[in-house]
Amino acid sequence: MSVETIIAIRRQSKRSPMYWVKAIFSLGIWLIWWRNNYLALTNRAIVRRNGVFVKSERAVPLNRVQDISISYGFIPRLLGNGDIRIETAGTEGTEIVINNVPDPEGFRTMVFEQIDVFYSDENGLPEKPKPPVV
């Protein structure tokens, strides 16, 4: 009676279980990074927050925003994404940069609308004095 011995085993996938552990871990880190990397518009400022282990936050008041530039790469433009650069008064260079933002033109429009609201009478700000009529 002969004993059967296994010479070789081949699996359909060459990915070991450790590959899947690494992939799930990487996806988890990416998800945490994605949730902590954003540009927010509030009624008073634009806030840029990023970082997972070392966090960084930059807030620019709406009354200091001078320019919002948008640039597109070829592939991101096909997908409707672009890079946003926000420049402010009193500083040299770009204050806030965020890459690969969906609908950057819509964000820029919302910022300018919020700036108008910020300076309007609806916001409860005191009205600027009018020059006297002579």
Q: What is the DSSP string of 16-67?
A: -HHHHHHHHHHHHHHHHHHHT-EEEE-SSEEEEEE-SSS-EEEEEEGGGEEE
Long-range contacts (CB closer than 8 Å, 24 or more residues apart) made by 90-94: 90/64, 94/69
pLDDT at 134: 57
Q: How far is Cα 19 from Cα 109, in angstroms, rounded to an integer?
A: 44
Higher-confidence residue: 133 or 101?
Answer: 101
pLDDT at 4: 80
pLDDT in tens, 12-54: 666 778 888 888 888 888 888 788 888 888 888 888 888 888 8
- Residue 121: pLDDT band (50, 70, 90) is low
- Residue 1: pLDDT band (50, 70, 90) is low
pLDDT in tens, 55-110: 888 888 888 888 888 898 888 788 888 898 988 887 777 788 888 888 889 989 99
Close Cβ partners of 51 (under 8 Å, ≥ 6 residues apart): 36, 37
User: What b/e readout covers 63-89, taking b as 16+ CB neighbours within 10 angstroms?
Assistant: eebeebeeeeeeebeeeebbbbbbbbe
112 pLDDT higher than 70:
yes
pLDDT at 50: 85
pLDDT at 133: 66
Please give the DSSP secondary-structure letter assigned to residue 120.
S
Residues linked to residue 40 through DSSP beta bridges, in sequence order: 47
Among 69, 46, 120, 60, CA closest to 88: 60
Question: Is the overall model pTM greater than 0.85, yes or no?
Answer: no
